[in-house]
Amino acid sequence: MILIGERINGMFKEVKQAIADKNKGVIQELARRQTEAGANYLDVNVGTAASDQEGAMQWLVETIQQSCSTTLCLDSQKPNVIEAGLKVADPNNGIMLNSTPVNKKTDEEVFDKYLEMAQNAGPKSCLIALTMDKNGIPQDVDTRVALAAEIVQKVMEKGFDTPRIFIDPILLPVNVPNAQAQAGNILSALDQINYLSDPPPHITLGLSNISQGASERSLINRIFLAMAISHGLDSAIVDVFDHELMNVVATSEMLMNKQIYSDSFIKAYFSAR
């Protein structure tokens, strides 16, 4: 399971404040602790509050890199903010870009722009692509899979290996009216996305979205994560500080035969990471 730590995000108060105060300690502590907790990537999102988003992204990247070499996942819907981060990112660490929707005729440049940035960022770079387009986020299974197929086709045409693409079928909160079927639809989409290419693309989800504004947040996150792993999810953007969630990751990997059972399988899983 490829885990992307979600905590360095300007949406969180302490991060927003640290960016405003240029408080390196807070950010470096989050980077170090998420890495220790099992994060393979660290998401880096300046949030919407920073007036100079490009500057904030560069400061975050430089600050994190001074304390650890965990691969960063530059997270912005604005290509110029991603580009600013790429300028200061250490190419030896690898990089992930997060994220682009599928382009349609009139805004072809969005997807192409992100793919081009990923391709120029070195041979280990990865890109998260969302199954959404100008029509928004699809509610049904077929449109999600069709958009995923479009993503796979586009990256194959550009010579970008499919395992370097992370398809995100986009989780909506369970409390959104008229979206009650979406959790099941996402699972059905996962079943199919795994067969789009050989080797298949990775699949990722912003897990915490599903419980946004809901009660029992950790429980909902945990149960849906177990379900999704059993349908082929192999990556997620998560709160790696949620200890119970991490136990779910280890247990799911063992049950899906990614790790042999031993009496200390949870400890063994995290030791091996």
User: Which residues of the chain form contacts with a second copy (CB under 8 A)?
Assistant: 174-175, 180-181, 183-184, 187, 214-216, 219-220, 223-224, 226-227, 229-231, 247-248, 251-252, 254-257, 260-261, 263-266
CB closer to a second copy, 65 vs 259: 259
Residue 172 Cβ, how far from a second copy at the closest point, in Å?
A: 11
CB closer to a second copy, 49 vs 183: 183
Distance CA 76, CA 42 (A): 13
Residue 225 Cβ, how far from a second copy at the closest point, in Å?
A: 9
Residue 262 Cβ, how far from a second copy at the closest point, in Å?
A: 8
Cβ(107)–Cβ(79) under 8 Å? no
CB closer to a second copy, 7 vs 222: 222
Cβ(22)–Cβ(16) under 8 Å? no
Residue 231, beta-bridge partner list = none
Residue 217 Cβ, how far from a second copy at the closest point, in Å?
A: 11
CB closer to a second copy, 119 vs 251: 251
CB closer to a second copy, 19 vs 220: 220
Residue 268 Cβ, how far from a second copy at the closest point, in Å?
A: 11
Interacting residues of 238 by C-beta distance below 8 A, sequence separation 6+: 3, 4, 5, 6, 207, 208, 221, 225, 245
Q: Where are the alpha helices (DSSP H) in the chain?
A: 13-21, 24-37, 53-65, 79-88, 109-120, 141-157, 182-193, 217-230, 243-255, 265-271
Q: Where are the alpha helices (DSSP H) in 2-52?
A: 13-21, 24-37
